[in-house]
Amino acid sequence: MPHTPERPDAHLLDEVAQRVLWLATRIVDAANRERITGDGVKVGGHQASSASLVTTMTALWFAHLDAADRISVKPHASPAFHAIQYLLGNLDRSYLTRLRDFGGLQSYPSRTKDPDHVDFSTGSVGLGPAAPLFAAVARRYVDAHFGPRPASRFIALLGDAELDEGNIWEAVADPATQGLGNVMWVVDFNRQSLDRVVPGIRIQQWRAQFAAAGWHVVEVKYGPRLHAAYGRPGGAGLEAWIDAMTNERYQSLFGMAPADVRERFLDGAPDDVRTFCATLSDDELASLVTDLGGHDVTAMLNAFAACDAVTDRPSVVFAYTVKGWGLPLAGNPRNHSALLSGEQIDALRARVGLTADTEWDRLDPTTAAGQLAALRAEHLRRDPVQTRSPLPVPTATGLSSAKPMSTQEAFGRILVGLSRIDGVGDHLVTTAPDVATSTNLAGFINRTGVFAPEERRSWSPDPLVKWSESPAGQHIELGISEMNLFLLLGMLGLTWDHSDQLLLPVGTLYDPFVLRGLDAYVYAAYSGSRFVVAGTPSGVTLAPEGGAHQSTITASVGLELPNTTLIEPAYAVALDWLLCHALARIADPGQGDALGKTEDGAYYFRLTTRPLDQAPFEEARARLGDATLRRQVLAGAYRLRDAGGDEGVPVVQLAACGAVLPETLAAAAELAEEGILAHVVDITSADRLYAAWQRTLRQGIRTATTPSIPGALRAAFDMRAPIVTVHDASSHTLAWLGSALGVPCVPLGVDAFGQSGAVADLYAVNDLTPGSIVNAALAALALR
């Protein structure tokens, strides 16, 4: 399929653009003026932001895009996006009056909730534009490993104020995003943000920043009339005068009466500009000086073609536009959330030649515009995403260790084990923001190599890590940007949609820095992406490293974040089962769930470098058997130490997660000496337990019945006895267990910033020592 189909006539595209402008405006209007919600909360929507991109979007969908292209649309242009989908026949008419309605069109494009196909969710500004850049990184990887897909262009339409977000520049600067000639960003350069006209003139800075990062920069600044004026005698002075004008002053011309425009425009102007403008009427002058290129379809299509011609680096187009183009609120500094009045809507409807009866119609199929829509709909039609057979991910790699082992070490070994398995190893792709070796990916990298679009010579061979870079490598190394890590993981986890290829993505980073990339993590989860991320090492157990590297609230984040499952095992074999299970879920999203619940999304493993004696796990294994133990480990908890049960002896349940199991076991032994039975439960996934509890609670609430205690909890805590929870994370992550089981609960954890020291020091200061756990158990018993 050719990249540039025969270009439709500009007048025809202008006609279509008017209809897009009308529908986008009216979609927001109907939501606000016609919907009765009765809740007093304004519905909202963005007519001006949509109008600003109407020309660009019409040019793209009606004259430029191919079916294989993938595009991210600025959040506030969602009405224009849905208007276009409707005109192309991809959206039912009933949705046009359902913007921001429950089950209707989402306020901002959503992959998972919109009724028409959205390639990239947007909403949190800055992330939407970065997504297709990283999707192109993922495509480059897929093409190199699984053969070239039909060529796609990865496009982002972004607001100019989105360039204020730091993640934009982290994405642009990362070595992993260099050289992607199939990427084009179109900046809707309307010089307005939400609150104001952006002060000064920022274009030189933006241009230089993109160019310095190796991007191809295109400006579509002036419309055809201004271009013609610049070519006339005296026109050069006019161009210099407009170029030097600040945004605030230029923007102020839009809302003015033509006579006032002359006065404002010429205030302080040199003589040649005055002379030039003297030949124009007030109306001509006002319309001339606000004639911008971003509303010239021909100029925009030429810019897209110029970007296609540059194939060795990403392109950015600065399209100079008018926020509110073609609407009475054009250029008004306060127009971001402004809505047209009923009279203004009536006037617009009449201007585009529609009536109350025809206002929601599609383009008349008997007209040239209607025929263009039909042709483009056919041209853009995509095959549905294929369902494919699951990858043969095993239930375990068979890892075992007689020696003490940390979960971080086990993680590295399991990945090496998986890399050896046919049909699995080749689908694994790892990524890290400059911490691959310190998070134990070295073994995997030694087997698979590092990905680079071209073979790179290694200048300093390392005996420990074989850092050979080539298109065959399966590790994508990033600069130190946790935002980029989660953006890339998010896109690697969506290659089944964007690039017709399922991958098994695994990312690693130091656990505290999950928070540094959290916005992109939330974005990935919101977008429905599936991947594994290991936060390692975590907690104050990273003792000598000190407070800046010790994570405390990440476990809560993992538990609370939707579409993400927090997993924090203590023992190597448990991790083996859990990691294989997670990858199997990613490899077969449709698979029936052994746990009886649907749990799609990311798997967040919170790991540690503390070597733990594996013997207690082997004892539990001998007691429970592999099948039962594995089922309970996957479900979130199992009884690690069974204290037996003597009638009349006080019983306490010590529920611990991760690195603190040795202290918990020691506390149980001390309690036994004091005549108290202490069972020890290893919480492998607080998240799965919590989710199971919530499900039974909600079931009870919705059916007005007494909620039961979920099976996963009952299996691990088979009695009503007080609980102490122990976690190298904030104490509240597990504190809910008391409520869930209806027993007193004393939660121990880390509720202050850490500091340097030995593990024993840090555990002492945070009450995670055996002595503290014993005292907490006594307190829990006293609270009965």
Ligand X SMILES: Cc1ncc(C[n+]2csc(CCOP(=O)(O)OP(=O)(O)O)c2C)c(N)n1
Among Mg ion, ligand X, none, the one that 498 touches (CB under a kind-dependent 5 to 8 A) is none
Terminal C-alpha separation, the chain? 73
Q: Whole-number minimum distance, CB 345 to ligand X, in Å?
A: 20
By the criterion CB under 6 A, which residues form the site for ligand X?
Answer: 49, 52, 75-76, 124-125, 159-162, 188, 190, 192-194, 323, 336
Cβ–Cβ < 8 Å for 158, 187: yes
DSSP-derived pairing of the beta strands 475-478 and 532-535 = unpaired
190 is a contact residue toward Mg ion (CB under 5 A): yes
Which of ligand X, Mg ion, none does 639 bind, CB closer than 5 to 8 A by kind?
none
* Dihedral of alpha carbons 127, 132, 135, 141, sign: negative
Among ligand X, Mg ion, none, what binds residue 448 when CB lies within 5 to 8 Å by partner kind?
A: none
Q: Considering the complex, state which of residue 322 and residue 691 has its C-beta at the smaller distance from Mg ion.
A: 322
Q: In the set 119, 160, 170, 728, which binds Mg ion (CB under 5 A)?
A: 160
Contact 780, 746 (CB under 8 A): yes
Beta carbon of residue 324, minimum distance to Mg ion (angstroms, whole number): 11
Q: Which C-beta is closer to ligand X: that of 123 or that of 744?
A: 123
Q: Which of 740, 729, 580, 737 is nearest to 654 (CA)?
A: 737
What is the C-alpha to C-alpha distance for residues 722 and 720, in angstroms, rounded to an integer? 7
DSSP letters spanning 748-764: E---S---SS-HHHHHH
Closest CB 233 distance from ligand X, rounded Å: 36
Q: Which C-beta is closer to Mg ion: that of 161 or that of 633?
A: 161
Which lies closer to Mg ion via its Cβ, residue 49 or residue 106?
49
Q: Give the angle subtended at the CA of 4 by the CAs of 3 and 8, to the nearest 5°.
A: 150
Q: Exposed, middle or buried: residue 2 (CB in 10 Å: 0-12, 13-18, 19+)?
A: exposed
Give 294 or 710: the residue with its C-beta nearer to ligand X: 294
Residue 653 binds Mg ion (CB under 5 A):
no
Q: Residue 52: name its binding partner from Mg ion, ligand X, none (Cβ under 5 to 8 Å by kind).
A: ligand X
Nearer to Mg ion, 190 or 209 (CB): 190
User: CB under 5 to 8 A by kind: which of Mg ion, ligand X, none does 305 bind?
Assistant: none
Q: Measure the CA–CA gap between 120 and 66, rounded to whole angstroms.
A: 16
For residue 305, the minimal CB distance to Mg ion (Å) is 25
Q: At what angle do helices 203-212 and 166-173 cross, to 10 degrees?
A: 30
Identity of the residue, 177 or 192, whose beta carbon is nearer to ligand X in the bound complex: 192
Closest separation in Å from C-beta 197 to ligand X? 10
Residue 608 contacts which entry, ligand X, Mg ion, none (Cβ below 5-8 A, type-dependent): none
Helix crossing, 626-635 with 572-587: angle to 10°?
Answer: 70
Nearest residue to 212 via CA among 204, 220, 202, 224:
204
DSSP bridge partners of 318: 187, 219
- Residue 238 interacts with which of ligand X, Mg ion, none, CB < 5 to 8 Å by class: none
Contact partner, 468, from ligand X, Mg ion, none, Cβ < 5-8 Å per class:
none
> Could you say which of ligand X, Mg ion, none residue 178 binds, taking C-beta under 5 to 8 angstroms by partner kind?
none
| Cβ proximity to ligand X, 125 vs 450, nearer residue | 125
Rounded to the nearest whole angstrom, what is the least distance from the CB of residue 48 to ligand X in the complex?
7
Count CA atoms closer than 13 A to 47's CA, side-chain side.
31
Min CB(189)–Mg ion separation in Å: 7
Site size toward Mg ion (CB under 5 A) is 5
Binding mask 57-96 for Mg ion (x = CB under 5 A): ----------------------------------------
Is the Cβ of residue 219 or residue 260 nearer to ligand X in the bound state?
A: 219
Residue 122 touches which of ligand X, Mg ion, none (Cβ within 5-8 Å per kind) = none
Amino acid letter, 519 = D
Residue for token pair 């030949």: 279
Q: How far is CA 144 from the centre of its chain?
A: 24
Q: Name the minimum Å distance from CB 296 to Mg ion.
A: 19
Nearest to 495 by CA among 139, 116, 128, 140: 139
Smaller CB separation from ligand X, 303 or 428: 303
Q: Is 646 exposed, middle or buried (0-12, 13-18, 19+ CB in 10 A)?
A: exposed
Which among ligand X, Mg ion, none contacts residue 687 (Cβ within 5 to 8 A by kind)?
A: none
> Of the two residues 172 and 667, which places its CB atom closer to ligand X in the complex?
172
Residues in the chain: 784
The least CB distance from residue 336 to ligand X, in Å, is 6
Distance of CA 141 to the CA centre of its chain: 19
Q: State which residue has the least CB distance to ligand X.
A: 159
Q: What are phi and psi of 532, to 5 degrees?
A: -110, 135
| Least spacing, CB of residue 79 vs ligand X, in Å | 12
**Beta carbon of residue 520, minimum distance to ligand X (angstroms, whole number):** 11
Using the contact rule CB under 5 A, the part of the chain among 155-163, 420-428, 518-526, 751-759 near Mg ion is 155-163
Q: Which of 159, 443, 473, 528 binds Mg ion (CB under 5 A)?
A: 159
For position 192 contacting Mg ion by CB under 5 A, the verdict is yes
Stretch that binds Mg ion, among 151-159, 489-497, 718-726, 731-739 (CB under 5 A): 151-159
Instruction: In angstroms, give the least distance from the CB of 230 to Mg ion.
Output: 25
Per partner kind, with CB cut-offs from 5 to 8 A, the member of Mg ion, ligand X, none near residue 97 is: none
Identify what 407 binds: ligand X, Mg ion, none; CB under 5 to 8 Å per kind.
none
Per-residue x/- mask for Mg ion, residues 108 to 147, rule CB under 5 A?
Answer: ----------------------------------------
124 makes contact, choosing from ligand X, Mg ion, none, with CB < 5 to 8 Å by partner type, with ligand X
Q: What is the 3-state secondary structure (H, E, C) of 401-423?
A: CCCCECHHHHHHHHHHHHHCCCC
Min separation Cβ 134 and ligand X, Å: 17
Strand, coil or helix: what is 194? coil
Q: Which two tokens stand for residue 197?
A: 């006209």
Residue 49 partner contact from ligand X, Mg ion, none using kind-dependent CB cut-offs of 5 to 8 Å: ligand X
For 357-395, b/e burial (b = at least 16 CB within 10 A) is eebbebbeeeeebbebbeebeebbeeeeeeeeeebebee
Rounded to a whole number of angstroms, the minimum distance from the CB of residue 389 to ligand X is 40
Tokens of 56: 């660009």
Q: Return contacts of 97-101, CB within 8 angstroms, 24+ apart.
A: 97/27, 97/30, 97/31, 97/34, 97/35, 98/31, 99/27, 99/28, 99/30, 99/31, 99/43, 99/45, 100/31, 100/43, 100/44, 100/45, 101/31, 101/35
Q: Name the minimum Å distance from CB 211 to ligand X.
A: 21
* List of residues contacting Mg ion (CB under 5 A): 159-161, 190, 192
